[in-house]
A and B are shown apart, each in its own frame.
Chain A
Amino acid sequence: MITKEEQKRYQRQILMLGEAGQERLKAARVLLAGAGGLGTVISVYLAAAGVGTLRIADCDSVEASNLNRQILHWGRDIGRPKTASAAEKLAALNSLIRVEEVAGRIDEGNIDAIAGDCDLIVDAMDNFPTRYLLNRTALRKGIPFIHGAVRGLYGQATTVLPGKTPCLRCIFPGSPPPEIFPIVGATCGVIGSIEATEAVKLLTGLGEPLAGRLIIWDGMAATADSIVVERNPACPDCGRSAQGKET
């Protein structure tokens, strides 16, 4: 049930989601993997929208070089764990939701405990090996998975619906070479907002998900395109060979 206080707070989105949609957001538990450039943007919008439980995982502490883009981490937070820094601000933004901190590295050993009971997994990572782990977990548990990534003024996003769409590994079979990537904070705003939009849609059933399509945002030219992507029958994570292992 939506309380009087919630009716007031979420009035402008209840206009389109209805109280039933708002209740779905309230009942949802979302894993946000990463509290960096993308994670801080996504978490602000999901917290503000009233997602009932936001579980935020990150293993890093705030550094000065994060502050050009990681909007929940401020000058005074340098040296603090990113999860604590983010959770404090999100709690101040919306005390009606629950923010859970997972301060540590996501790995094979803990991913089931971290993600297993979530309705949605949102990718805000900065590396592909961890993204593949999230992707595999999403496939195994049948949890929708929203991917996003950024570099410079470019970004990309897609929504993986297990069993229905290509998985992340179908589209990107190999990790790009690691690098200290250039980035302007506003690019995280664009892609993080696309991911947050997808999350609200998936949780409430609104609209058409970004499923089977990869959006490519080009901030240099100020254009957005989407490419239809196909499943790879030989995909190590969702293809035929993976079926026996993973289900």
Chain B
Amino acid sequence: MKVVFRTFADFREVIGAREQELSLPEGETVGGLLKGLRKGHPRPQEKPFDASGDVKTSIIILKNGRNIEFRQHPDTIIATDDAISVFPPVAGG
């Protein structure tokens, strides 16, 4: 199935693309998608990844404009034509 994957800020630096169409297996989860990214990235010990190479759970993930609350729901299922947007938390003033 095809999904649109959009990255922002330091995720964009790591992924190297602003928006891409991904082909994912049916039933893929957001957590699974991000694990795949880690494999594709040669230096996972930086920016959006923690020391063990996993994506930081504080990451913001919107599925079709809705926050999936990744920390609690990494097993959120992705469906065909979903738009997944990923960006780091920004809280300063």
By a beta-carbon cutoff of 8 Å, the part of chain A in contact with chain B is 34, 36-39, 123-128, 148-151, 154-156, 170-179, 181, 183, 188, 216, 218, 220-221, 223, 225, 227-230, 232
Contacts and interface: CB of A to CB of B under 8 A. Distances in A.
A167 to B, nearest CB: 12
Nearest to B13: A220
Given A170-B67, A177-B58, A227 B92 contact: no
B63 to A, nearest CB: 10
Contacts of B90: 149-151, 154-156, 176
Given A172-B67, A230-B64, A223 B18 contact: yes
Output the residue of B13, B69, B91 with the most chain A CB within 10 A: B91
16 contacts: A37-B93, A38-B93, A125-B93, A126-B93, A149-B93, A154-B88, A170-B67, A172-B67, A173-B67, A176-B89, A176-B91, A177-B89, A216-B9, A220-B9, A223-B18, A229-B62
Chain B, interface size category, equals 20 to 34
Nearest to A36: B93
Contact of A150 (B13, B18, B60, B92): B92
A36 B71 CA distance: 30
Contacts of B8: 216, 218, 225, 227
Contact of B93 (A148, A154, A173, A223): A148
